[in-house]
Structure 1
Amino acid sequence: MSVQITSAYAGLLGLWLVALSVNVAAHRAKLGIGLGAGGDPRMRRVVRMHGNASESIPVALLLMALCEIGGGRAWILHAAGVVLVAARAANACGLWKSEGPHPLRVAGAHLTWLTTLALACLNIAGAL
């Protein structure tokens, strides 16, 4: 029961989460904000970039790992991993540019949801 494919994407997304965390810490230090966003619009976006990733990545990776353990096809797992990495980057880039519904943010959120939904359905189908 190897999860080599999921491990690769978990590693990439783990690095992404660290980068987003460092970004939050750097902005906190630069702006002198210890907690929350301190009313600063950019800080609010930086915090949400990290929060959005922290909320969505673990569930998607868990579903991906379970799918892989259950014998999911490698090409499907790679497709899910690539889309998830691209979606999380797009979401953060769109949020960096605007608090509103930026096209990259919307696309990133939708692709994350679709990937998570697809992985959930594959796991349900595999369990039946």
Structure 2
Amino acid sequence: MITSLYAGILAVWICYLSVQVIKQRRKHRVSHADGQVDDLTVARGAHSNATEYIPIGLLLLMLAEFNGAPEWAIHILGVLLVVGRLSHGLAVLNRKMKGRVFGMMSTFGVIGLLAALNVVQALL
């Protein structure tokens, strides 16, 4: 299953973002929430955004694949999802708005296309 490739890549990305949160917690000695530490708030934001959008993106990708979408389409959408999520997360961590906008546009585009594709596949 092609989606497994993108799920694996994005799982590693979520682990990377988790480590960024852990590093900030240790650095600032904050055991829960953000302790009103800006760097920890930023790291938590990058992580939580990834955990909000990656699951629905992967679920829609998997369903499209399961329902017979062409392999090339699954790969293109999978790559765009990964690029969007990496771009967004890195931009958040580095406080760059441009990358955040690109990342969210890419993510929303993939989710929107996959949602439409799944609806069409369900109706056929």
Match of 2:56 among 55, 59, 62: 59
User: How does the TM-score come out when normalised to structure 1?
Assistant: 0.92
User: How does the TM-score come out when normalised to structure 2?
Assistant: 0.95
Q: Deviations over 1:56-104 (max 9, x none)?
A: 0000100000000000111110011111111111101111122xx7100
Which position in structure 1 is the counterpart of 2:17?
20
RMSD over aligned CA atoms reads 1.0
Would you identify which runs of 4 or more consecutive aligned residues in structure 1 move more than 4 Å? Answer: none
Q: For residues 19 and 96 of structure 1, what CA distance do their matches in structure 2 show?
A: 12
Which position in structure 2 is the counterpart of 1:108?
103
Q: CA deviation at 1:23?
A: 1.4
Matched length: 123
Residue identity over aligned pairs, in percent, reads 36
Q: CA deviation at 1:37?
A: 1.5
Q: Deviations over 1:16-61 (max 9, x none)?
A: 1111111111210111111121111111110010000000000010
Which position in structure 2 is the counterpart of 1:46?
43
Q: For residues 41 and 30 of structure 1, what CA distance do their matches in structure 2 show?
A: 12
Match of 1:80 among 50, 73, 77: 77
Q: For residues 17 and 92 of structure 2, what CA distance do their matches in structure 1 show?
A: 12
Q: Which runs of 5+ in 2 are unaligned?
A: none
